[in-house]
Amino acid sequence: MAIQTVGIVGAGQMGSGIAHVFALAGYDVLMTDVNQASLDKAMALIDRNIERQVTRGKTTAEAKAAAMARIKTTLKLADLGPLDLIIEAATERETVKQAIFEDLAPHLKPHTILTSNTSSISITRLASRTDRPEKFMGFHFMNPVPVMQLVELIRGIATDGPTYDALLEVVVRLGKTAAPAEDFPAFIVNRILMPMINEAVYTLYEGVGSVKSIDESLKLGANHPMGPLELADFIGLDTCLAIMNVLHDGLADTKYRPCPLLTKYVEAGWLGRKTQRGFYDYRGEVPVPTR
């Protein structure tokens, strides 16, 4: 089946980025969220980000105008039912994702493929709550979506071959690279990345280094473009904690125990860039370490 129409559930950072790349690749996109303000903010963000690509010569003004015209928004989840492909990009909480798929169920066409952009939750378990586990996959984009080249393709235990092939074709059309991953907690990227971030938080917690020295050490000593604590703030400390909990619960290994300091920051509501405070304070002109 040739996929042409795409529904995106969630207009946050990931949802808007996914809408951006699909529209530029020629897909018709319908994006939904629970409130109009989120949709308006997402459309403004997409407009700015594609304009930046125009300025840098990565696309044209004509391509931008065509892409923006391909993106529509709605407050009604049911409106996505008839589309070829639906990508759930809501909050990283399993109960939220399950509720979305259950609400979509009565409105879906027989051919519709369901996917989740989850960074860690079991695809098999999510698929089991739908009427089409064979047409369900993990479709995990990296943040920021327009910049990052990788897409993890995660089969659930019931996912069939044609569904995988259809999504692989989509990734190629988007100009990105697919990484097939098995359905185990956090898949590939976050299985490796999140314990590193968690260890950096432990290094801070135990007083081995400061925020600045830890980030500078990894940037200059391991040639990472961002330090692990800076990256955690960019991802969102609540998301980092959620993924560590999925790893800890799913694999039952103490090496995945979330650092108490990470938990404390989340309890304080210091979630990183999106709340203006995390391991850095972003309220001034220059980010200042909070520890």
| CATH code: domain of residue 199 | 1.10.1040.10
95 and 18 together in one domain: yes
Q: Where are the beta strands (DSSP E) in the chain?
A: 5-9, 28-32, 71-74, 85-88, 113-116, 136-141, 150-155, 177-181, 280-281, 288-289
Query: Which amino acid is present at 114?
Result: L
Is 285 an annotated catalytic residue? no
Is 14 labeled as ligand-binding?
yes
Is 119 an annotated catalytic residue? yes
115 and 197 together in one domain: no
Of the candidates 119, 120, 122, 198, the residue annotated as catalytic is 119
Q: What is the pLDDT of residues 25-84, one digit of tens each?
A: 999 999 999 999 999 999 999 999 999 999 999 999 999 999 999 999 999 999 999 999
CATH number for the domain that contains residue 97: 3.40.50.720
Of the candidates 94, 116, 122, 140, the residue annotated as catalytic is 140
Cα dihedral 224, 230, 232, 237 in deg (nearest 10): 180
124 and 224 together in one domain: no
Of the candidates 16, 88, 120, 152, the residue annotated as catalytic is 152
d(CA 78, CA 102): 11
How long a stretch of residues is the chain? 291
Q: What is the pLDDT of residues 203-238, one digit of tens each?
A: 999 999 999 999 999 999 999 999 999 999 999 999
Is 207 labeled as ligand-binding?
no
Choose one of 163, 182, 201: the last residue of a domain. 182
Beta bridge partners of 141: 151
pLDDT exceeds cutoff 90 at 145: yes
216 and 167 together in one domain: no
Pairing relationship of beta strands 28-32 and 113-116 according to DSSP bridges: unpaired
| Structural domain for 99, as ranges | 5-182
pLDDT band per the 50, 70, 90 thresholds, residue 2: confident
116 and 229 together in one domain: no
What are 167's two structure tokens?
A: 């999504």
pLDDT exceeds cutoff 80 at 1: no
Q: What is the pLDDT of residues 32-49, one digit of tens each?
A: 999 999 999 999 999 999
Choose one of 182, 211, 231: the last residue of a domain. 182
Is 33 labeled as ligand-binding?
yes
3 neighbors 126 (Cβ within 8 angstroms): no
118 and 236 together in one domain: no
Q: What is the pLDDT at residue 74?
A: 98
Count how many domains the chain has.
2
Q: What is the pLDDT at residue 19?
A: 98
147 and 249 together in one domain: no
65 and 21 together in one domain: yes
Choose one of 145, 164, 182: the last residue of a domain. 182
Q: What is the pLDDT of residues 160-207, one digit of tens each?
A: 999 999 999 999 999 999 999 999 999 999 999 999 999 999 999 999
Is 97 labeled as ligand-binding?
yes
pLDDT exceeds cutoff 90 at 150: yes
pLDDT band per the 50, 70, 90 thresholds, residue 156: very high
Is 285 labeled as ligand-binding?
no
Q: What is the pLDDT of residues 85-141, one digit of tens each?
A: 999 999 888 999 999 999 999 999 999 999 999 988 999 999 999 999 999 999 999
Is 210 an annotated catalytic residue? no
243 and 138 together in one domain: no
Is 140 an annotated catalytic residue? yes
87 and 226 together in one domain: no
Radius of gyration of the chain (CA): 19
Q: If DSSP codes are grouped into helix, strand and coil, which group holds residue 1?
A: coil
How far is Cα of residue 223 from the mean position of the Cα atoms in its chain?
24
What are 286's two structure tokens?
A: 């220059």
214 and 164 together in one domain: no
10 and 152 together in one domain: yes
Question: Which of 140, 144, 142 lies closest to 50 in space, CA to CA?
Answer: 144
Q: What is the DSSP secondary structure assignment for residue 256, as one 8-state letter? A: G
